[in-house]
Each structure stands twice: as C-alpha cells, then as structure tokens.
Amino acid sequence: MSFVRSLEPIVTKLPEVQRPRVPLSFKDKLKWTFLVLIAYLLMSNTMLYGFDPQAENYFKSIQTILASSFGTLMSLGIGPIVTAGIILQLLVGAKLIDLNLADPRDRLLYNGLQKFLAIVFTLFEASVMVLVGALPAKGGDPTLEILLIIQLFIAGLFVIYMDEVVSRWGIGSGIGLFIVAGVAQEIAWRGFNPFFEGGAPAGIIPKFLYELVKGTPDFLTLIPFFAFLITFLIVVYFESVRVEIPLTYGRFRGLRGRYPIKFIYASVIPVIFASILMANVQLWATILEKMGNPILGTPGTATTPPSGIVKYFTIPTPIYSANFDVVHALVYSAILISLAVLFSKFWVETTGMDAKSVARQLQRSGMKIPGFRGDIRIIEKVLSRYIPAVTILGGFTVGALAAFADVTGALGGGTGVLLTVGILYRMYEEMAREQIFELYPALRRFVE
C-alpha cells in the first residue's frame, strides 16, 4: 500500500521516549513505574474544567477495561491506544497493509503507525465524545466544549507517552499498570471511603462500622466486600490450573518437558469482548431512544431503571439492594456466560491458539510426544483432545466469575479482578526474571 509507505517519513519521526542505553537496575524500573502510577492516579482525580457535573455516565460497563474515570482527565483512559492497536493488528492481519514484522524497517514503521493512529484516535474520540454529549460541557457552551477537547487531547498524549515510559523504563506495560491502578482505586475507595454521603460514610466498611456503633448493623452492606474476596480467591485458583502435555525434545533424548495449557485458555479476553458488546448495545439503545424509536428499549438513567432488550445487557442492580430483580440477574448472567464462551472460541481460532497451529509451533521447535516420531499429526491429535475443552470450559469459567461478581456488586467487578490478578502475576514474573538477571548478568545475554 503506497499510502502507508508515504506516511513513513512523518510517522517514524514522531517524538518517542528514549530507550535506556544500559540495562536499568531493578530499583530504577520500580521507581519509573511508581512515578507513572502517581501521575495516572492524579490525572484520574482531576476533574475536566468546564465539564457538566450532572452529565449521565454511559461508560460504566467499560470503565474497568479502559482504566477511565468519568469526568476527569482520564475520561477516555486507554481507549484510543487500544482501539488503534486492534485496528492496526486487524489491517496487518488481513494483509490490507503488507508489513513484514520480521524486517526491522517495517517494524519501525508499524510502531510509528501505531503511535500515529493512537494520537489521531485520541483527537477523534475526544471531539466525538464532547460534541455528541457523552462528555458534555456545562450549559453546552461552545468555548467550554473546545476547552474540553483540548484537555482530553493533551491528557491522551500524556497517556500515550506514559505507557511508553513504563514499557521502556518500568515493569510490564503502561496499559496493564493503568488497569490495575483503576481497579485497585475502586476497591480501595468504594470499600473504605470514610467521608459521609447521605448521612453515612460512603465506603462499605466505614458504613458498616458506623451502623454497628449506632446499634443497627446491616450485614448486607458487607456483601460487595466478601464477594470481592471470594471472586479474588477463585480467580487466583483458576489462574494456576494447567493441563500439562508430556513432551520430549527430539535432539536431547533424555530431556523431558511438559507443555502447559492454561485452563483459562483465552484468559480474560472473552469477558472484555463481552463487556464491549454490551456497552455497544447500550450505546445503540441510547441513540435509538434519542431518535424516537427505542426498539432496543430504554437504557435508563441513574434514577430510572432500564427497560426492554437493553435491560438484559445492563449490569443488574446488585443482590443486596431492595429492588433486586432475580429474572434480570439470571438472564444477564446467561447472556454474559454464553458470550464469553463464544468469544473464547472465536479468539482461540483467530489468533493461532487452536490445536493445529500450536502443534505446528511445537513441531518446529523440535518437541515430540514421547514414544512417537515428531509427526505433526500426532502432536495435533493429542492437543485437540484438550484445547477445545479448555477453550469452552475456560470461557465458561471467566463468564461465570464475571457474572457472579456483577450480580453481587463485588468491589472491582468481575472483569476488574480477573484482569488485575492476571496483570499483577505477569508483572511479578517479569520482576522475578529481572532479579535473576541482576544477580547473573551473563544469563541476560543467553536468554534475550
């Protein structure tokens, strides 16, 4: 595509965070990660100037995965970066843009394109959200709207470069850090906010203690906290369940290995796609309602409950609240679980995680099933006894966990806890590896 090549001079010249010349010490990496964390938290607590405080929050169901917080500098969160990444991946995957990622020059072009697209999307998303009224200015004042777009655009640039700082100087990825920060912040604040709202502390634990002291303890208020603990422990358990395929390395006869297949095979991706789909159903229901023919029903506001089809694509009122609707909760959970299973199958088949592709990778790296020649058909046959099963069961498990957490109003939400445990564990693995490299620098050259 000559158009892409013509973009090369601009795109590869975009300012970027310098890579460290000498491998950083573990302490420095921790410092940089910590600094970016503080910056993110400050930005997600700084309200936008000129923002209409009475605005309706349409982003609730995807706030966790976008690490966004409504009405603040972080209203868009990592939306633009993620959107740019997915679209570019699809374009390259579908060969609409012919880039050979093995070739360093194309690699540079790909990274430049990704940043260029992220910047364009930040401006585009900021303008659309303000002008459509999803992020309305106070009194619809046009000058305030322009100010809002500028603030969101600059904040978006910060997010892009903060992500790059963490990826090059810190631990793990910026996107992962922001998601974890957003979820941990919600758990901490919703759980322990001591300040009074409506005659009692807003946080669950202070509220319970306040009621206890007043002599009228209500144990129902503790449900979100215990639901969070239960979800957390179950997620930790399933995170470490593996199906292990015994393997030998062809050339080293004696070396026996095990190829681990994670039980939650497509990890959290299915639940992320499910919540994006649900957010879209709500978006379209709002648009249709505004256009006057609410086929999908009314999404409802903070005060009025949703109705019609869209109701079952909205997180139900939690189990401990007065107007808890069992039917709504059951139908919502059934939809979420089936979506998770479907998206798990879709993701496994489209990203080369299916038995055939994995067998090809294993065969190419010289692995064999003990007692059989390195015949790819044998490896594939063994893999296909387990991969389809973990795809379905894994998808079902994450869907059920997310549904349980949503229905009980667990702190952090199902997707939030699932994401956070996964990200934190991968960060730990990276830190452990860094520690080893620091103790045995020679090892770094061998592995990297």
Partner 1 sequence: KKKSKAELSKKISEQIESWRRTVRLARKPTRDEFMMVAKITGLGIVIVGLIAYMIKIIVHFLGGSL
**Interface residue list for partner 1 (CB under 8 A):** 37-38, 41-42, 45-47, 72, 180-181, 183-185, 187-189, 192-193, 195, 232-233, 236-237, 239-244, 263, 385-386, 388-390, 392-393, 420-421, 424-425, 427-428
Contact 402, 415 (CB under 8 A): yes
Q: How far is the CB of 400 from partner 1 (least distance, A)?
A: 14
Q: How far is the CB of 153 from partner 1 (least distance, A)?
A: 19
Q: 118 vs 171, which CB is nearer to partner 1?
A: 171
* Pairwise CA distance, residues 188 & 135, whole Å: 26
Q: What is the DSSP letter of 325?
A: -
Q: 43 vs 81, which CB is nearer to partner 1?
A: 43
Q: 3 vs 195, which CB is nearer to partner 1?
A: 195
Q: 228 vs 273, which CB is nearer to partner 1?
A: 228
Q: 137 vs 427, which CB is nearer to partner 1?
A: 427
Q: Please give the biggest Cα pair distance in the chain.
A: 75
Q: 17 vs 30, which CB is nearer to partner 1?
A: 30
Q: How far is the CB of 151 from partner 1 (least distance, A)?
A: 13
* Pairwise CA distance, residues 227 & 332, whole Å: 18
Parallel, antiparallel or unpaired: strands 367-368 and 242-249: antiparallel
Q: ∠ CA 289-294-299 to the nearest 5 degrees? A: 65
| DSSP H or E segment with residue 83 | helix 79-93
Q: ∠ CA 24-30-35 to the nearest 5 degrees? A: 110
Q: How far is the CB of 225 from partner 1 (least distance, A)?
A: 13
Q: How many CB atoms lie within 10 A of CB 295?
A: 12
Q: How many CB atoms lie within 10 A of CB 313?
A: 26
Q: How far is the CB of 103 from partner 1 (least distance, A)?
A: 38
Q: 241 vs 376, which CB is nearer to partner 1?
A: 241
Q: How far is the CB of 390 from partner 1 (least distance, A)?
A: 6
Parallel, antiparallel or unpaired: strands 196-197 and 242-249: unpaired
5 contacts: CB under 8 Å, gap ≥ 6: 109
Residue 72, strand partner residues: 47
The sign of the torsion formed by the CA atoms of 172, 177, 178, 183 equals positive
- What are the tokens at 359? 């067998």
Q: How far is the CB of 431 from partner 1 (least distance, A)?
A: 10
Q: How far is the CB of 242 from partner 1 (least distance, A)?
A: 5
Contact 211, 229 (CB under 8 A): no
